[in-house]
Chain A
C-alpha cells in the first residue's frame, strides 16, 4: 500500500497533473455553480477535452471537475436555493435560510470547510481501506441492494416533519412512478411513453431536478413577492470567519457525517444524495433540542452535515467504480464511460493492471480538496455578490440556465417543453406544501430499485423468499420496517396519549 501511495504521489506531483487538478476544480466549480449544470453535465462536457491526455491525467482532471462541480453546486444551493445536483439538495435546507438571513458568507465558509474536511477524511480512509473494501461490496446481492434502496427511501420520509410524513411518502411514490416512464430494460416494453420517441429513454433526471427546484423556485420568487425583501437583504460578505464556538459545534458533526458519507458512498447505488439526506437526518436526531429546532431555519450543523457527507460520499463512490467497475451514481457512471474510452477496464484487476491510474486518482482527491479550499474560500466574497443581482434580472437568468442546462444534456427541445410543464406542476405541489426532495430521490432510485428487485426475483426463481433468506437482507428489511413505522407510532401516540 505504501508503494501504491508513493506511486500515486509521484504521478500526481508533476507540474502538468497539478495544473490539471487546479484547472479541473476551477472549471468544475464554475460549471457546478450554474444552476442546471451539475457534476454529470460538467464531466460529460469535459470528457472530449481529456482525450488528448493519458489515462491517469484524464482521470485526475475529471476527478477535479467532479469535486469542483459538487462544491459549486453547494454554492448555488446556498445562495439561490437551486441545487444543480440531488446531492446538494440537503445543503439548501439550511444553507439557503442562512444566506437569506444575511449570513451567506458564513454559510459558504462552513460549506467549504465541511467539504474539505469530509473529502479529506474520506480520501484518507479510502487510501487505507480501498483494497479490502472490494470484498465487502462484493458480498452484496441484488436482494440486499433492493432492500437498501427501500431503506433509503423510507428514511427520507421518516426524517420529514411529522405533519408532512404522508406527503413525503406520497411524493416518494410519485417519484417512483415517474421513474417507470420509458423503456423497461429487462422486458423491452415501452411504458407510459404515449407513443412519443422523446420519452423512450425515460424522463431526464437533470430535467426533473431543474424543473422541481431551480425553475419552480424562480417562479415561486415571482409568485410570493414579499419574500423578495429578505432576498435582497445586504449580505455580510466580509464575515467569512467561523468562531471557535462554532468550530466546536460543527467539528463532531463533520467527523460523524464524513464517516457516514464515506461508507454510504461505497455502497453501489447509494452515493452522495442518500449520504447527505441521511447525515442531515441523523444529525437532526442527535442534536440537542435547542439546536434541533434550528434545523431547516439556518442551522450550522444542518449545513455542515450534508456538505461533509456528500463530499465524503463522492470520494467513497470511487470505491465500487475502481474496485468493482460498478458505478455507484450517475456521475461515476459517466466516469466509467471515460475510463473505458481511455482503454482501461475498471474492475478488480485495475489495481494490478493500471496501479498508476488507481493510486493517482486517490492521491489527486487529496490535492483536489486542498485546491478547493485554497480556491473557493478566497473567491467566496465574489460569489456572494450573486445575491445582489435584482430579482427582475435573476429570475430570467435562472430560467435560462435551467432550460439550457436541460437542453445541453439531451439536445432535445422536447425536454425544455416538458420541463415547463413539470415546473408548473411542481409550483402547484409546493403551494400544497408537498416536499420535493422525496420525489427526486424516488425518481433516482426507482430504476435501480426495480432492476434489483427483478434480478432478485429471477435469482430466487420467482419466489419472494429472497427477502428473508439471507441475514443481511433480513436485517436491512427489519430496519426499513422500523423506520417506516416509527413516525406512525409516534403520530398515533401524540394524538391519543396527549389529548
Chain B
C-alpha cells in the first residue's frame, strides 16, 4: 500500500513539475512578514516543549502574553486582560470536567507541589 501511494504521488508531482503553466503560483508575490511568523513558530515550539515542565498554569499565560507582544501589542493591561482570563476559564472548565492538565514537573522538583 505505501508503495502504491508513493507511486501515485510521484506521478502527480511529476505532472505538476512538467506542466508549463505557473502563472497562478508566481502571480501573487507579496511582501511576506517572515520574521513575526518565525518567532511565533519558535514560541510555539518552546510552549510545546515547556508545557509539561512548567505546567499549564504557568506556561499558558506566558505563551499568550509573549505571543501578543510579538505581534505588536504593547499595552500591558490589554495583554493581562486577554491572557489571564483565557487561562483561568479554560482551566476551570477542564477542572469542572475532572481533567487534570499538566501541573508542571518543575514545581514538584522545587518542592512547591507535592
Contact = CB atoms under 8 A, between A and B. Distances in A.
Interface of A: 45-46, 48-49, 163, 166-167, 169-170, 173-174, 176-177, 180, 191-192, 215, 219, 222-226, 390-393, 395-397, 399-400, 403-404, 407-408, 413, 416-417, 419-420, 423-424, 427, 431-433, 450, 453
A427 B34 CA distance: 11
Contacts of A48: 97-98
Contacts of A170: 9, 12-13, 16
Contact of B21 (A163, A423, A427): A163
Contacts of A453: 1
Contacts of B64: 396-397, 400
Contacts of A423: 41, 44
Contact of B1 (A180, A224, A397, A424): A180
Interface in B1-46: 1-2, 5-6, 8-9, 12-13, 15-16, 19, 21, 24-25, 30, 32-34, 36-37, 40-41, 44-45
Given A170-B13, A399-B44, A417-B48, 8 more contacts: A46-B97, A163-B21, A226-B30, A392-B72, A392-B73, A396-B64, A400-B63, A416-B51
Given A48-B98, A393-B73, A432-B25, A417 B37 contact: no
Contact of A166 (B15, B37, B48): B15
Nearest to A168: B12
Most-contacted residue by chain B among A167, A170, A225 (CB, 10 A):
A170
Sorting the interface of chain B by its residue count into under 10, 10 to 19, 20 to 34 or 35 or more gives: 35 or more
B112 interface: no
A404 B24 contact: no
A392 B68 contact: yes
A390 B71 CA distance: 11
A391 B45 CA distance: 21
Given A391-B71, A399-B67, A173 B99 contact: no
Nearest to A180: B2
B77 to A, nearest CB: 12
A223 B37 CA distance: 6
Contacts, number: 121
Nearest to B96: A49
A contacts with B: majority SS:
helix
Contacts of B99: 45, 408
Nearest to A173: B9
B106 interface: no
Contacts of A432: 25
Contacts of B8: 169, 173, 176
B48 A222 contact: no
A239 B10 CA distance: 49
Contacts of B6: 177
Given A174-B9, A219-B37, A433 B25 contact: yes
A166 B78 contact: no
A81 to B, nearest CB: 17
Nearest to A417: B48
Contacts of A49: 97
Contacts of A191: 2
Given A48-B98, A177-B5, A392-B72, A219 B40 contact: yes
A82 to B, nearest CB: 16
Given A173-B5, A420-B48, A397 B86 contact: yes
